[in-house]
Amino acid sequence: MNNAQTSLLGKQRWKLWEPLFWLVALALPLVLGGHSLIVNEIAI
């Protein structure tokens, strides 16, 4: 493998905070049911 490929493949692993961020982002409309439209507008 060349240096560029090694460098890119080394950074593809997920960090600890990334799955936590997505879980919170996906659970937010469920937790804040009354404010789900506001969360949707912010996400867009």
pLDDT tens across 18-39, in order?
899 999 888 877 887 776 666 6
Pairwise CA distance, residues 44 & 42, whole Å: 5
Pairwise CA distance, residues 9 & 26, whole Å: 27
Closest CA to 29 of 41, 20, 19: 41
pLDDT number for residue 36:
64
pLDDT number for residue 20:
92
Task: From residue 34, give the alpha-carbon distance in Å to each of 1, 16, 30, 31, 37.
Answer: 52, 30, 9, 9, 8
pLDDT in tens, 1-20: 578 877 777 766 778 888 99
Sign of CA dihedral 18, 22, 27, 32: positive
